[in-house]
Amino acid sequence: MTSMSTDPTSATAALEAAAATTAQTGDVEFDMIEAIAKMRSQVGPDGKPIKPSWALSEDNWEEEMKTIPLFMRSFDPNADVESVPELAALQSLIYDGTPEEVAENFKNQGNDMFRDGKHHYPHAIQYYTQGIDQKCKDAKLNSVLYANRAAVNLELGNLRKCVNDCLRAIEHNPTNIKAYYRAGRAYHLLEKYDEAVSAFTHGLAADPNNGSIKVALEAAQKAKLARDAKDAEKRAQQEYEAQQEALVAAVMKKRGIRSGTVLAQLPNAEYASHRPSYDPTTDTLTVPCLILYPEFNQSDFITHFPVESTFAEQLAPVLDEAPAPWDPQHTYRSATTDVYFLTFNEDPNLRRLVKVGKKNTLQSVLKLSWSCVVNGVVEFLVLHRNNQFCKEYVEKYRQRASPASASSGK
């Protein structure tokens, strides 16, 4: 065997070496294998085998193969194709043929991308779109292209795009079963159950024995029934609440109790769900009440305060049974506190502080001209009777209400 004197990292060197030995052995295949094996046995300074410049990486050869035009599965449509002659030649072949042939080719490539998994779905959409863009005269092929693109969009969660593609597919071919099925699935996921049932029903009309559509139709019908039942229950609840509000409003008007809505004073969400209620069997009107403790910036909430009940009766369980976490010394009790109301006025600067006795009923206070049930809730304050903070708090409102204060404000 003649030794190789050319650069072992070159593919040409390997071929030349093989040619030189062939003259002696006459066995071309054997000499080629031996020359390449010898080339592979060469070791570089780093101790690793020397590879030809054209060799692919052992760890990343699959990705590198995709950069070779002949083995490309997809390419960037914005790439400079003319700068790569091989790619330009292959692309020209893609559009070589009738619009129907080109569209069929794009459909097949899209199918390959779809089968290759989610990572290739964008390429599948690209190929199906390129097929659609050929505007071929084959209606069934166009329908398949739209239906297949719909399948990809369905997998990606692009539900409205899926529906739109299915509708276009059905326009081209009203018997495209897959288009009805995919449209139904997308509608179901969008919770448009009526449309889902309609799509599946049309699909079954075209293919009465399709098991997948039968199962999907049954699921959509069950979801529709559940949704309809929930909507009916919601409507019934809304009608009941409307009747109750009308009844409560009539009772309050009859008892001389004012009510109103002030957008600037809307209650917190935790209180907003509670409304005045009336039980005709016992002729009992109850109102939710928010108790404020200004000294501690705290509050309590009574969900159903019977208007014919006194403040003493309702506050005793709140103040006397156990101290609040914010009042560990239990200084706030029925015997040491007073009840105050702020007069009703949409302008907070014009509200006045009025003390009411605990023996009064809530109804007796609500019938006064300055009182009002605002946004369905009654607010009143509880202040300590012998407390410096509370004395100053009351004095602040007393000065605001004095004539001198009113004149100075002008």
Three-state SS at 114? helix
Task: Let me know the angle formed at the C-alpha of 227 by 224 and 231, rounded to the nearest 5 degrees.
Answer: 135
**CATH class assigned to 260-401:** alpha beta
Do the beta carbons of residue 276 and residue 286 sit within 8 Å? yes
CATH fold of 95-226: 1.25.40
Three-state SS at 76? coil
Residue 379 bridge partners (DSSP): 290
- How far, in Å, CA of 336 to CA of 315, rounded? 12
- How far, in Å, CA of 14 to CA of 216, rounded? 63
Q: What is the pLDDT of residue 407?
A: 39
Three-state SS at 173? coil
Name, in order, each residue with C-beta under 8 angstroms of 149's C-beta and a sequence gap of 6 or more: 110, 124, 125, 128, 129, 132, 165
Residues found in the chain:
410
Three-state SS at 161? helix
Domain ranges across the chain: 95-226, 260-401
Among candidates 21, 17, 103, 91, which has minimal Cα distance to 52? 17
**If 0-12 CB within 10 Å is exposed, 13-18 middle and 19+ buried, where does residue 268 land?**
exposed
Among candidates 290, 302, 289, 298, which has minimal Cα distance to 325? 298
Do the beta carbons of residue 290 and residue 374 sit within 8 Å? no
Three-state SS at 4? coil
Name, in order, each residue with C-beta under 8 angstroms of 104's C-beta and a sequence gap of 6 or more: 131, 141
Residue 384 bridge partners (DSSP): 337
Q: What is the pLDDT of residue 345?
A: 84
DSSP 176-202: -HHHHHHHHHHHHHTT-HHHHHHHHHH
Task: Let me know the angle formed at the C-alpha of 307 by 305 and 311, rounded to the nearest 5 degrees.
Answer: 70
Among candidates 222, 221, 223, 203, which has minimal Cα distance to 213? 203
Q: What is the pLDDT of residue 166?
A: 98
- How far, in Å, CA of 55 to CA of 34, rounded? 18
DSSP 195-242: HHHHHHHHHHHH-TT-HHHHHHHHHHHHHHHHHHHHHHHHHHHHHHHH
pLDDT by residue, tens only, the chain of 410 residues: 444 444 444 445 554 554 554 444 455 555 555 555 555 556 667 666 666 665 656 666 556 655 655 445 555 555 555 555 555 555 555 566 899 999 999 999 999 999 999 999 999 999 999 999 999 999 999 999 999 999 999 999 999 999 999 999 999 999 999 999 999 999 999 999 999 999 999 999 999 999 999 999 999 999 999 999 999 999 999 999 899 999 999 999 999 999 988 766 555 556 667 899 999 999 999 999 999 999 999 999 999 999 999 999 999 999 999 999 999 999 999 999 999 999 988 787 888 999 999 999 999 999 999 999 998 999 999 999 988 999 999 999 888 766 544 433 33
Q: Which helix (H) or strand (E) holds 382?
A: strand 378-384
Q: Which helix (H) or strand (E) holds 346?
A: none
Cα–Cα separations (whole angstroms), residue 339 to 97, 298, 345, 394: 92, 15, 19, 12
Q: What is the DSSP letter of 342?
A: E
Three-state SS at 409? helix
Residue listed under structure tokens 């403040």: 311
Domains 95-226 and 260-401 in one fold: no
